[in-house]
Amino acid sequence: MRKVCIVGVGATRFGSHPETPLKDLAVDACTAALADAGMGPDQIDAFYLGNYGAGMLVGQAFTASVVANELGLRSIPVTRIEDACASGGVALRHGWLMVASGQADAVLVAGVEKMTSAPTEAVTQALAAATDVESPEAHAGLTFPGFFAMVACRHMHEYGTRPEHLAAVAVKNRRNAQANPRAQFFGKPATLDQVLASRLIADPLRLFDCSPISDGAAAAVLCAADRLPEGARAVDILTIAHALGPANLSDMPDLTSFPATREAARQAYEAAGLGPEDIDVLEVHDCFSIAEVVALEDLGFVPKGEGGPAVAEGLTALDGRFPVNPSGGLLSKGHPIGATGLAQCFEIVRQLRGEADNQVTGARIGLMHNLGGTGGTVTVSLLARRGVA
Amino acid sequence: MDQIPVLACSACGAVHLPPRRRCRSCGGDSLQEHAIDNAGELYAFTVIRVPPARYAGQEYTVAAARFAGGLVITGRLVEEKDGGTPLSGLEPGRAVRLASRDGRACRLQLA
């Protein structure tokens, strides 16, 4: 396998883009990534687009071809990847494999979602399709917030995790977003009291425990390490692991842990010869506050059950031992489903180039964790400053 | 309903509801009809305050209950035996039973 680098990244502002079609959001992010790489569309050998629900949410299927044509790409293979909330992470992995295998020298990977133009009930129903719709829980009317609320219920019961611990995740990520002008909640700080007083969405999760409905896109340009463009500001892809987990709550042996996160992390650490102690900065899949707590445990950064107090005590703050979600995370940067994995990549690449909005001093190795559905699909990616690992 | 009809894996004994083609635990394809006691324990629950479009305007409790052999059944928690709202005093560990099953929709209640 060839070594692969990320040579350019781009992203739109996340939030509400009522006047901008989905296609244009994707093109804006791709154009920014190509400009950042100093490359043109004629140099791209393949294109992957992560997108979850354009068919359900804006009535547009066939998104990869539509976006690729608008970008002016040559007659190359283009593929849309749908893997629920991990669509972006999985798209990135396929781009990496394409270059690593020698099938392509340069690949453009993007993710996009447009959600705010649909009513909340329609978005809730579209998101509920990211589980087995024939399962008993789907027939019971379990929503995504509801699923993670049940994870929180069990985590609280087994480990004594408290609403204040979950609120600490939301407050920390909201604080981080205040330095990120692309974040949906930029300019909208929140206090612990505000989080704890916000309305219940699915007990015990409140509005501020949930990521918002968002529009947005992000993109990355991948290039073979032996074909880097002149002057490239390259970041190394060490590995991208991808694992399957249960697609239903009823199939989870333990609601307080996601087996696919543990398996993808195990594979990623093994492939890179690294462990949690080597990671300088993380973007993890905090679709809900409890999800960040569980991710910290499953990724090996804290012992099982200690994620809540660890966040409350500052372990994951910008100046903590393991800064998590300096971008604001899904909770405060926003969560346009298909774009999220690429938005995590956008942040980690900028961290490793030393140019992030919330720069973690001296960051050399970064981790991205992208989770889809009820933990039914997870990618864990490890990136490094060029040549350090 | 004193017993719950399930499928049990001939190879590893894991029990399944609803029916499935292969065993979730070991991948075996020999699943036999079996029955387990209708005596479960509340594993986790939530109250859905923002429902999907087809349940617009409703608030309801969804619960997961654990039965013999590790079987988890997820469904609506429909009533409380001793009255009151299903929310009051609800804690994981409470005794629950499967009240009814209509196709894939399960209804649970406190025992």
Question: How do residues A104-144 score in pLDDT, each as one tens digit?
Answer: 999 999 999 999 999 988 898 899 899 899 999 999 999 99
Tokens 């997108």, located at residue: A51
Note down pLDDT in tens along chain B; length 111 residues.
899 999 999 999 999 999 899 998 999 999 999 999 999 999 999 999 999 888 988 999 999 999 999 999 999 998 755 554 545 678 999 999 999 999 889 999 998
**Paired tokens of A345:** 């990549």
pLDDT at A327 over 60: yes
Phi and psi based region of residue A37 (left: phi greater than 0; alpha: psi -120 to 50; beta: remaining): alpha
Per the prediction, chain A carries an average pLDDT of 97
Which helix (H) or strand (E) covers residue B67, if one does? none
Question: How do residues A352-374 score in pLDDT, each as one tens digit?
Answer: 999 999 999 999 999 999 999 99
Per-residue DSSP letter, A52: S
Are B45 and A153 in contact (CB < 8 Å)?
yes
User: Checking DSSP bridges between strand B60-66 and strand B31-37, what pairing results, if any?
Assistant: unpaired
Question: Average of pLDDT values for A250-266?
Answer: 96
Question: Average of pLDDT values for A20-47?
Answer: 98
> What's the CA angle centered on B73, arms A127 and A82, to 5 degrees?
25
Q: Which of A120, A115, A124 is nearest to A18 (CA)?
A: A115
pLDDT at A274 over 80: yes
% chain A with pLDDT above 70: 100
Distance from CA of A336 to the nearest CA of B (A): 19
User: Chain B interface residues facing chain A, Cβ-Cβ under 8 Å?
Assistant: 18, 24, 43-56, 58, 60, 62, 64, 70, 72-76, 87, 91-93, 103-106
**Paired tokens of B74:** 């997820």
Measured between alpha carbons, how far is A154 from A159 in angstroms, rounded to an integer?
8
% chain A with pLDDT above 90: 97
Q: Quick check: A223 and A232 in contact, CB under 8 A? A: yes
pLDDT at A347 over 50: yes
pLDDT value of residue B85: 53
pLDDT at A292 over 60: yes
Question: How do residues A71-114 score in pLDDT, each as one tens digit?
Answer: 999 999 999 999 999 999 999 999 999 999 999 999 999 999 99
Who contacts A287 (Cβ-Cβ below 8 Å, separation ≥6)? A85, A144, A148, A210, A211, A330, A331, A335, A371
Per the annotation, the verdict on A85 as an active-site residue is yes
pLDDT value of residue B84: 47
pLDDT value of residue A40: 97
CB atoms inside a 10 Å sphere around CB B76 = 23
Question: Average of pLDDT values for A341-349?
Answer: 98
Instruction: Return the exposure string of A145-162: e unless at least 16 CB atoms fall within 10 Å of the residue's CB, then b.
Output: bbbbbbbbbbbbbebebe
Closest partner residue to A150 among B46, B56, B58, by Cβ? B46
Measured between alpha carbons, how far is B107 from B111 in angstroms, rounded to an integer?
12
Are B44 and A151 in contact (CB < 8 Å)?
yes
pLDDT at A11 over 80: yes
Question: How do residues A190-224 score in pLDDT, each as one tens digit?
Answer: 999 999 999 999 999 999 999 999 999 999 999 99
Per the annotation, the verdict on A335 as an active-site residue is yes
Per-residue DSSP letter, A15: B
Amino acid (one-letter) located at A254: D
Q: Is the peptide bond before A204 cis (omega within 30 degrees of 0)?
A: yes
pLDDT value of residue B107: 94
Question: Considering all CA atoms of chain A, what is the largest pairwise distance in Å, rounded to the nearest integer?
Answer: 57
Q: Quick check: A217 and A11 in contact, CB under 8 A? A: yes
Chain B CB contacts of A142 under 8 Å are 46, 48, 62, 74
Are A136 and B18 in contact (CB < 8 Å)?
yes
Amino acid (one-letter) located at B106: C
Question: Average of pLDDT values for A52-78?
Answer: 97
Measured between alpha carbons, how far is A11 from A218 in angstroms, rounded to an integer?
4
CB atoms inside a 10 Å sphere around CB B85 = 11
Chain B CB contacts of A202 under 8 Å are 46-50
Q: Computed over its alpha carbons, how large is the radius of gyration of chain A? A: 19
Q: What is the ipTM of this complex?
A: 0.94
